[in-house]
Amino acid sequence: MFDAMIALYRGLPNRMRERLQGFLSCIASGDMPLIVHCAAGKDRTGFAIAVLLLALGVPRETVIEDYLLTNQVSDFEHFIRTRKDTGLGLADARHPLLAMPEELRRVLLSAHTDFLGAALEQIDREFGGLDAYVERVLEITPKVRDRILANLLE
């Protein structure tokens, strides 16, 4: 399960390209407030927020610390067990996540330094770093990035 999570995170920089473009473009154009979410709020959301924070100049160590706060405030098992009649496909205790062995579920439902690290290492390896990823892959020019900074920090 740990290796599967590493692989998942390695794929996020490419799989989330269009969503991140839209997310950052909304901020640049002032279309806020906005909500960033996914089913559990730790993998895709954690990666998106990490990219944003890094683009704002927040140190990588601080970004990883922020991501790891998920482990202190999230009870994913409770979330799954209480989502009856929501249309999320998490209807009962027979849900596959709850049927999985606890040691696998614990890895799947946790935020781990190595997970986010795998995504950031993929960006470094494949694109030459976050700045190149933001500019070339996400197509966020320095001018647009300046607007993001202004809209969030000033």
Residue 91 falls inside a structural domain: no
Residue 84 falls inside a structural domain: no
Residue 103 falls inside a structural domain: no
In Å, how far from its chain's centre is CA 36? 9
pLDDT at residue 91 tops 60: no
Q: What is the pLDDT of residues 9-35, one digit of tens each?
A: 999 999 999 999 999 999 999 999 988
pLDDT score of 100: 78
Q: What is the pLDDT of residues 140-153, one digit of tens each?
A: 999 999 999 999 98
CATH number at residue 23: 3.90.190.10
Residues for the chain: how many in total?
Answer: 154
Q: What is the pTM of this model?
A: 0.85
**Residues of the domain holding 114:** 2-74+109-153
Residue 121 falls inside a structural domain: yes
pLDDT score of 82: 65
pLDDT grade for 105, boundaries at 50, 70 and 90: confident
pLDDT at residue 90 tops 90: no
pLDDT score of 38: 76
pLDDT at residue 48 tops 80: yes
The Cβ of residue 52 has, within 10 Å, a number of other Cβ atoms equal to 19
Residue 139 falls inside a structural domain: yes
**Helix (H) or strand (E) segment spanning residue 76:** helix 76-81
Residue 95 falls inside a structural domain: no
pLDDT at residue 89 tops 60: no
The Cβ of residue 9 has, within 10 Å, a number of other Cβ atoms equal to 23
Residue 124 falls inside a structural domain: yes
Q: How many domains are contained in the chain? A: 1
Q: Which residues are catalytic, by number?
A: 38
Residue 83 falls inside a structural domain: no
